[in-house]
Amino acid sequence: MTRPSRYVALLPYTPHTAALARDFVSSVLSVWEIDDANSAHNSLSALLAQEDHATHPTVQLSIERQPDGSVRIEITHGATQIGR
Residue-wise pLDDT tens digits, 15-48: 888 889 999 999 999 999 888 777 777 777 777 7
With a cut of 80, say whether residue 79 has pLDDT above it. Answer: no
Rounded Cα gap, residues 63 and 7, in angstroms? 5
pTM for the model:
0.79
Question: What's the CA gap between 51 and 19, in Å, rounded?
Answer: 15
Question: How far is CA 57 from its chain centroid?
Answer: 16
Contacts of 10 (CB under 8 A, 6+ apart): 58, 59, 60, 61, 79, 81, 82
